[in-house]
Protein backbone atom coordinates (compact mmCIF):
# COMPACT_ATOMS: atom_id res chain seq x y z
CA UNK A 1 0.00 0.00 0.00
CA UNK A 2 3.02 2.32 0.10
CA UNK A 3 3.11 3.29 -3.59
CA UNK A 4 -0.57 3.88 -4.32
CA UNK A 5 -2.48 6.98 -3.33
CA UNK A 6 -3.97 6.98 0.15
CA UNK A 7 -7.40 5.36 0.62
CA UNK A 8 -8.68 8.70 1.99
CA UNK A 9 -8.57 10.15 -1.53
CA UNK A 10 -5.48 12.34 -1.20
CA UNK A 11 -2.83 11.80 -3.91
CA UNK A 12 -0.01 11.10 -1.42
CA UNK A 13 0.97 7.53 -0.60
CA UNK A 14 -0.65 5.88 2.41
CA UNK A 15 2.63 6.06 4.38
CA UNK A 16 2.99 9.81 3.81
CA UNK A 17 -0.71 10.56 4.35
CA UNK A 18 -2.84 8.56 6.82
CA UNK A 19 -0.30 5.83 7.52
CA UNK A 20 1.79 8.15 9.68
CA UNK A 21 -1.27 8.87 11.84
CA UNK A 22 -2.04 5.17 12.14
CA UNK A 23 1.58 4.45 13.11
CA UNK A 24 1.52 7.19 15.75
CA UNK A 25 4.40 9.20 14.26
CA UNK A 26 2.12 12.21 13.67
CA UNK A 27 -1.27 13.47 14.83
CA UNK A 28 -4.06 14.65 12.55
CA UNK A 29 -3.85 18.48 12.52
CA UNK A 30 -7.52 19.09 11.65
CA UNK A 31 -10.89 17.43 12.12
CA UNK A 32 -11.01 16.68 8.39
CA UNK A 33 -7.57 15.04 8.48
CA UNK A 34 -8.70 12.90 11.41
CA UNK A 35 -11.89 11.94 9.58
CA UNK A 36 -9.91 10.98 6.48
CA UNK A 37 -7.48 8.93 8.60
CA UNK A 38 -10.38 7.17 10.31
CA UNK A 39 -11.87 6.27 6.93
CA UNK A 40 -8.47 4.88 5.89
CA UNK A 41 -8.37 2.90 9.16
CA UNK A 42 -11.65 1.26 8.17
CA UNK A 43 -10.16 0.46 4.75
CA UNK A 44 -7.02 -1.16 6.20
CA UNK A 45 -8.80 -2.75 9.17
CA UNK A 46 -7.05 -0.77 11.94
CA UNK A 47 -9.62 -1.01 14.76
CA UNK A 48 -7.00 0.04 17.32
CA UNK A 49 -6.54 3.41 15.65
CA UNK A 50 -10.30 3.91 15.45
CA UNK A 51 -10.63 3.27 19.18
CA UNK A 52 -7.63 5.48 20.04
CA UNK A 53 -9.13 8.40 18.10
CA UNK A 54 -12.63 8.04 19.60
CA UNK A 55 -13.75 10.42 22.35
CA UNK A 56 -13.43 8.66 25.73
CA UNK A 57 -17.03 9.61 26.58
CA UNK A 58 -18.53 7.92 23.51
CA UNK A 59 -15.95 5.22 22.68
CA UNK A 60 -17.29 1.66 22.63
CA UNK A 61 -15.53 -0.99 24.69
CA UNK A 62 -14.55 -2.85 21.54
CA UNK A 63 -14.92 -2.54 17.80
CA UNK A 64 -15.34 -5.51 15.50
CA UNK A 65 -14.79 -4.56 11.87
CA UNK A 66 -16.45 -6.60 9.14
CA UNK A 67 -13.60 -8.00 7.02
CA UNK A 68 -16.04 -8.50 4.14
CA UNK A 69 -16.76 -4.77 3.76
CA UNK A 70 -14.91 -3.31 0.78
CA UNK A 71 -14.65 0.45 1.08
CA UNK A 72 -14.43 2.07 -2.35
CA UNK A 73 -14.19 5.83 -1.86
CA UNK A 74 -14.57 8.89 0.30
CA UNK A 75 -16.20 12.19 -0.62
CA UNK A 76 -15.99 15.17 1.74
CA UNK A 77 -19.27 17.08 1.40
CA UNK A 78 -18.56 19.88 3.87
CA UNK A 79 -16.64 20.98 6.94
CA UNK A 80 -17.29 23.45 9.73
CA UNK A 81 -14.54 24.66 12.06
CA UNK A 82 -12.08 21.90 12.97
CA UNK A 83 -8.84 23.77 12.27
CA UNK A 84 -5.88 24.35 14.57
CA UNK A 85 -7.76 27.39 15.92
CA UNK A 86 -10.91 25.50 16.98
CA UNK A 87 -11.88 23.15 19.81
CA UNK A 88 -14.68 21.47 17.84
CA UNK A 89 -15.51 20.76 14.23
CA UNK A 90 -17.81 18.84 11.96
CA UNK A 91 -17.18 16.94 8.74
CA UNK A 92 -19.98 15.78 6.47
CA UNK A 93 -18.98 12.96 4.14
CA UNK A 94 -20.10 10.08 2.00
CA UNK A 95 -18.13 6.85 2.33
CA UNK A 96 -18.86 4.34 -0.41
CA UNK A 97 -18.53 0.60 -0.09
CA UNK A 98 -19.31 -2.24 -2.41
CA UNK A 99 -23.11 -2.33 -2.37
CA UNK A 100 -23.89 1.10 -0.90
CA UNK A 101 -22.73 4.20 0.89
CA UNK A 102 -22.77 5.85 4.30
CA UNK A 103 -23.65 9.56 4.57
CA UNK A 104 -22.70 11.03 7.96
CA UNK A 105 -22.15 14.35 9.68
CA UNK A 106 -19.40 13.60 12.22
CA UNK A 107 -18.58 15.73 15.24
CA UNK A 108 -15.01 16.11 16.47
CA UNK A 109 -13.46 17.68 19.54
CA UNK A 110 -9.98 18.28 20.87
CA UNK A 111 -9.05 16.24 23.94
CA UNK A 112 -5.64 17.02 25.44
CA UNK A 113 -4.77 18.83 22.22
CA UNK A 114 -5.61 15.92 19.87
CA UNK A 115 -8.63 15.66 17.58
CA UNK A 116 -11.02 12.81 18.41
CA UNK A 117 -14.28 11.59 16.93
CA UNK A 118 -17.25 12.28 19.23
CA UNK A 119 -20.28 11.00 17.32
CA UNK A 120 -22.26 11.49 14.17
CA UNK A 121 -25.69 11.63 12.68
CA UNK A 122 -27.12 10.69 9.34
CA UNK A 123 -28.51 13.74 7.53
CA UNK A 124 -31.43 13.31 5.21
CA UNK A 125 -30.34 12.84 1.62
pLDDT in 10s for each residue of the chain, 125 residues: 445 799 999 999 999 999 999 999 999 999 999 999 999 999 999 999 999 999 999 999 999 999 999 999 999 999 999 998 999 999 999 999 999 999 999 999 999 999 999 999 998 75
Q: What is the pTM of this model?
A: 0.94
Phi, psi of 124, deg, nearest 5:
-65, 140
> Which residues have a Cβ under 8 Å from the Cβ of 38 and sit 6 or more positions away?
49, 50, 53, 117
Residue ranges in 1-125 assigned as alpha helix (H): 18-23, 31-44, 47-52
Going edge to edge, which strands form the sheet with 100-111? 71-81, 88-97, 100-111, 114-121
Amino acid sequence: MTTRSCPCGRPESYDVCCGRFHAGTAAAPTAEALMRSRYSAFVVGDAGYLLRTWHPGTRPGRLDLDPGTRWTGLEILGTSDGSAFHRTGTVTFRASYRGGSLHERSRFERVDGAWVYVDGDFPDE
